[in-house]
Structure 1
Amino acid sequence: MASATVTIGTRGSQLALWQAEWVKSAILANHPAIRVELAIIKTRGDKILDVPLAKVGGKGLFVKEIEEALLDGRIDLAVHSMKDMPADIPTGLCIGAIPKREEPRDVLITRSGDPLEALPQGARVGTSSLRRAAQLLHVRPDIRIVPLRGNLDTRLKKLETESLDAIVLAAAGVRRLGLADRITQVLDETVMLPAVGQGALCIETRTDDSRIGAVVGALDDPTTRQVVLGERAFLNRLEGGCQVPIAGHGHMDANGFTLTGLVCDVDGSRQIKQTRTGAPDQSEQIGLALAEALLAAGAGAILERLNEHAQSS
């Protein structure tokens, strides 16, 4: 291993590079003799910046090209934001490690410094996430959602250049780039339930590559992995993608594993939300059970309608 080189595949955004550099540093801390390189790969999601994510369609917008490079051996491992990962992992690949999670919640950044409840009537709020838009409209049906794409720095600039009153971002990205002082309000989960996997990293490897498996295995946080796998089981059962407002967040405490899931109409008018708790080692079963409960409560009809609309548009 002393003379080995490890190549990490990553997107080229400032946040993606921060995440890849963090993994690189963690690998070198455990294996200082290894040479670690970054390979920047442009994904379809990086190329299409003038269309809302929900209209681009498909799963894996920010990971597919990187996974192809991993499968054909151009890179040894990939670093993704877990919330970008489709429910299904391609044959031959696996989640090699999930490091300890950063803050999973969303944050509001406003020009005025006012929190969500104090924004003016008809305030313009920037986001291209149906999940965020639907939950915002559920509590503030008067606000106007403005499509917002681009990397974190670009979206922060658009807060000023496009005369927005506020934007919504993932707390993890804002904190990782040292911009926590820009946060106006951390949105409570009762208002804005996070995306599945938000705040966590996914280190993806080839299933049969025991060398890299051993290198990244030390970066895995067992508690975070158990929680995230429960969330992803929930998402997988609902077959959720960018076209439907689905949220899910779990945590471990003295009572075991608790998972809250949500399915919402895009206009925020109807929101189906439930919570399940169980044994820590049953997180995936709890995720499946929660999904079934939401489907039985009416989420199935919402998802069917939204998927039909997405296919016809």
Structure 2
Amino acid sequence: MNIHAALAERFAGAPLRIGTRTSVLAMTQAERVAALIGEFGVTTEVVPIRVTSDLWSGDLSEVGGKAAFTKQIDRSLVGGEVDVAVHCVKDVPGDVPLPEGTAFGAHLEREDVHDVIVSRDGTPLADIPAGSLIGTGSVRRRAQLCIHRPDLRTQPIRGNVDSRLDRLREKDGPFAALILARAGLRRLGLADQITEILPVEFHTRGEGVVSIVPPVGAGVIGVQARTADAPVMRMLDELNHPATAGHILAERSMLHLLRGHCNSPIAGYATTTPDGRMSLFGMVFDRDGSQFVRSHAVGDPADPATLGSRVAADLLNQGAGRLIAATRR
């Protein structure tokens, strides 16, 4: 039976239900997945699910770390309340396995991975006055910002992108700028808010270039389903972007072996080289960026897990485990 017929039989008289977070960005991503699934002739329904991270304004480590982004959606998927789940891969925990009987059937083609500065008055990061407050809840961003601009202060800022931008623009508000993901702003049609795009290639402080290496899974939407749901898994396989899926496997293999948690400043970014091999950069920082280790390796794109393991082993040999353990306190 071809995939269209299998799906028509599977969803005869009922829509395919897509579970997602309730934020504007998450709903936009889910609608994109719905449009792709619709090309198979399947009617879809987006099911918003309120997750712990949307209800909590404090430190995520106090509510289970990155699992706060996913556990309610996972529960709905396992329980059959939704048929697929849409996630930003960067928000999927690296130290917690996926629920038994589920897997990512598709990774959509990776989008832009750059972090950007959105400043109150259009001032680039290098010119923001010392002592100014920068809004970011990411430990990875804070650590790297401290390398280049240790004279700036940071404060976590949570909520939807729209609400964060509103706080930035508040009259007499505390923030001089925010660090955000370029991909998210693009998905929301807010790219015109960007003041400065930060390079992803690592630079030391003395080079005079402010850079921020991306997190594992940056710019990638993953679609998760029950492995026993054969028609859905077949469909997702057709939506999958193989090169992106390979890059994610390398990055997440590295993250898993590092045993990183939500308070671990870890960066990891895989790409395909001009000659067709796979390249993986990995970095681990302490909280203020004063100490870090970095590694790079190139390997066979047919074996991304081994490449991830090699980079993780090198980072651990350089002391990454000590840096990660220190951030657990």
Q: For this structure pair, what is the TM-score category when the shorter chain's length is used for normalisation?
A: over 0.9
RMSD of aligned alpha carbons: 1.3
Letter of the 2:307 partner, please give it. I
User: Is the aligned partner of 1:207 residue 2:230?
Assistant: no
Q: What is the deviation of 1:55? A: 4.6
**Preserved CA contact (<8 Å) 1:53 1:128:** no
**Separation in 1, partners of 2:126, 2:303:** 37
Size of the aligned set, in residue pairs, is 305
**Separation in 1, partners of 2:315, 2:101:** 32
Aligned to 2:78: 71
TM-score, reference length from structure 1: 0.94
**Separation in 1, partners of 2:253, 2:107:** 15
* Identity between Structure 1 and Structure 2 (%): 39
* Cα deviations by residue, 1:56-95 (Å, 9 ceiling, x for unpaired): 4434111111001000101000001011112221211101
Q: What is the deviation of 1:54? A: 4.5
Letter of the 1:63 partner, please give it. T
User: Is the aligned partner of 1:140 residue 2:140?
Assistant: no
Letter of the 2:255 partner, please give it. L
User: Is the aligned partner of 1:287 residue 2:308?
Assistant: yes
Unaligned runs of 5+ in 1: none
Aligned to 1:52: 59
Alignment of 1:204-243 (within 5 A): 204-243=224-263
Aligned to 1:129: 138
Q: What is the deviation of 1:114? A: 2.0
* Cα deviations by residue, 1:97-127 (Å, 9 ceiling, x for unpaired): 0010110121111112122212111121000
Partner of 1:60, secondary structure, is helix
Aligned to 2:196: 185
Letter of the 2:305 partner, please give it. E
**Separation in 2, partners of 1:266, 1:55:** 17
Aligned to 2:107: 98
**Preserved CA contact (<8 Å) 1:70 1:76:** yes
User: Is the aligned partner of 1:28 residue 2:65?
Assistant: no
**Preserved CA contact (<8 Å) 1:79 1:202:** yes
**Separation in 2, partners of 1:36, 1:140:** 47
Q: Assess, with a 3 A threshold, how the Cα gap between structure 1 residues 58 and 146 changes in structure 2: closer, same or farther.
A: closer
**Separation in 1, partners of 2:118, 2:62:** 25
User: Is the aligned partner of 1:11 residue 2:18?
Assistant: no
* Cα deviations by residue, 1:3-22 (Å, 9 ceiling, x for unpaired): 35200001110000000000
User: Is the aligned partner of 1:267 residue 2:278?
Assistant: no
TM-score, reference length from structure 2: 0.90
**Separation in 2, partners of 1:188, 1:298:** 26
Partner of 2:319, secondary structure, is helix
**Preserved CA contact (<8 Å) 2:286 2:326:** no
* Cα deviations by residue, 1:261-305 (Å, 9 ceiling, x for unpaired): 111111111121121111211221111111111111111111122
User: Is the aligned partner of 1:160 residue 2:180?
Assistant: no
* Cα deviations by residue, 1:156-198 (Å, 9 ceiling, x for unpaired): 1111223311101111100100111111111111220111001
